[in-house]
Structure 1
Amino acid sequence: MADQRRTERLDQPRAPRGLRLPRIDAETFGRWSEGIARGMGTANFIVYMTLVIAAWFAWNTLAPENLRFDPYTFTFLTLVLSLQASYAAPLILLAQNRQADRDRIALEEDRRRATMQKADTEYLAREIAALRIALGEVATRDFLRSELARLAEELDEAAERRRKLERRQQEREARRQAGGEPLDEPRDDLDGDFAHDGRFDG
């Protein structure tokens, strides 16, 4: 005993003494309590308990006296129901606490997702605003349509003038082949354009 006291150190906590209770897995016990509470909250439990109590009353009232195990005032039945209530209340509270913990975790997860969605929405809103500003500096559809229409008209006019020049050149070539002298015709804009093209040198 003296040797044991000498080996004890003051800088270390003393080992706990006394009765050690068995350790119970909280998760397993919680699932078990939830199962019981869920079963007690069903219509089947109420119906079965009602049938048992009715049979208890009938047996201890109508059966012969020597076979009645809980005569009138039903003391034993009262004790059983009291024990059931005393155990049911903590089990229901435990199940409610576990459900509250799950609800809290789900609420935190929903809040985190809502925060992420809000951040994503704000980012998309900023991107859309930037795109609108960028598109404001780009040519609009009506402007492009008007420019394309103007270019198409200019191309049609140029093609028409080219056809007229080619037709006039063909007429002059036909007169030359017939042996006639080409008449001096006043030059107009079409002749000038034709000369610039290099097809006619008048």
Structure 2
Amino acid sequence: MAPERESRERAATGATAANRSRLRLDQPQRPRRRLLPEYDPEAFGRLSERIARFLGTGRFIVGMTVVVALWVVWNVFAPRELRFDTFPFIFLTLMLSLQASYAAPLILLAQNRQDDRDRVNLEQDRKQNERSIADTEYLTREIAALRIGLGEVATRDWIRSELEDLVKELAESHGDGRVVFPAERPGGRDVDDR
């Protein structure tokens, strides 16, 4: 009874030997085992920047100078059986080379991260400059349009003079010569007219 049930279930789900061996795209794959431990690149980058910043300080240089001086003084003047690195100072050279071999890549990594930040800042500055230029050009066009529009605006003095001309024409055509619109002040121009 059990083999028949399995064959019916396979037939109902459409599972065959060929289908079972294929990967299912609707299901996530099992995580692979990694030989090397995983680390957070951002945390490592921040650490390298801190180290690079420290290596570039005067405190590090003074500390390194003190360590090297103490090393040399100890290995020259200490009793022979307490010296751990005799005159050619091979071990000191090895330690300094090891420190340099780690410092150089850390400094390069910190510089690369700074270059990436600078590149992003430059791109943002470029886009901001483009927006500012576009805004400036738009405002320039608007001001030019306003100036052109203001050149066509009728002022109070111009309208008054046109109306006075029309009144004169009417008066001449009717023959009575009276002034219909007297000026508000003797100069013929109002203070607010521009």
The answer to whether TM tops 0.5 is yes
Q: Quick one: structure 1 residues 110 and 76, their matched pair in 2 at CA, closer, same or farther if it must change by over 3 Å?
A: same
Residue equivalent to 2:36: 21
Q: Following TM superposition, by how much is the alpha carbon of 1:139 offset from its aligned partner in structure 2, in angstroms?
A: 4.0
Aligned residues: CA RMSD: 3.3
Residue equivalent to 2:185: 152
Unaligned runs of 5+ in 1: 1-5, 156-202
Q: Quick one: structure 1 residues 133 and 18, their matched pair in 2 at CA, closer, same or farther if it must change by over 3 Å?
A: closer
Q: Following TM superposition, by how much is the alpha carbon of 1:153 offset from its aligned partner in structure 2, in angstroms?
A: 2.6
Q: Following TM superposition, by how much is the alpha carbon of 1:152 offset from its aligned partner in structure 2, in angstroms?
A: 1.8
Residue equivalent to 1:124: 139
Q: Following TM superposition, by how much is the alpha carbon of 1:37 offset from its aligned partner in structure 2, in angstroms?
A: 0.3
Residue equivalent to 2:179: none
Q: Deviation per CA, 1:116-145, whole angstroms, max 9, x where unpaired?
A: 101100110011001101110124698689
Matches within 5 A, 1:41-190: 41-139=56-154, 150-153=183-186
Q: Deviation per CA, 1:16-62, whole angstroms, max 9, x where unpaired?
A: 87752111001111000000000001111111101110110000001
Q: Following TM superposition, by how much is the alpha carbon of 1:154 offset from its aligned partner in structure 2, in angstroms?
A: 9.0
Q: Following TM superposition, by how much is the alpha carbon of 1:69 offset from its aligned partner in structure 2, in angstroms?
A: 1.0
Q: Which has the larger helix fraction?
A: 1
Q: Following TM superposition, by how much is the alpha carbon of 1:9 offset from its aligned partner in structure 2, in angstroms?
A: 2.2
Distance in 1 (CA, whole Å) between partners of 2:20 and 2:79 is 71
Distance in 2 (CA, whole Å) between partners of 1:44 and 1:145 is 84
Partner SS, residue 121 of structure 1: helix
Q: Quick one: structure 1 residues 18 and 132, their matched pair in 2 at CA, closer, same or farther if it must change by over 3 Å?
A: closer
Amino acid corresponding to residue 9 of structure 1 in structure 2? S
Residue equivalent to 1:182: none
Residue equivalent to 1:186: none
Aligned length: 150
Distance in 1 (CA, whole Å) between partners of 2:53 and 2:127 is 30
Distance in 1 (CA, whole Å) between partners of 2:187 and 2:63 is 96
Distance in 1 (CA, whole Å) between partners of 2:120 and 2:187 is 72
Amino acid corresponding to residue 152 of structure 1 in structure 2? R
Q: Quick one: structure 1 residues 65 and 8, their matched pair in 2 at CA, closer, same or farther if it must change by over 3 Å?
A: farther
For the pair shown, which has the larger CA radius of gyration, 1 or 2?
1
Unaligned runs of 5+ in 2: 1-17, 165-181, 189-194
Partner SS, residue 71 of structure 1: coil
Percent same amino acid at aligned positions?
60
Question: What TM-score, normalized to structure 1?
Answer: 0.64
Question: What TM-score, normalized to structure 2?
Answer: 0.67
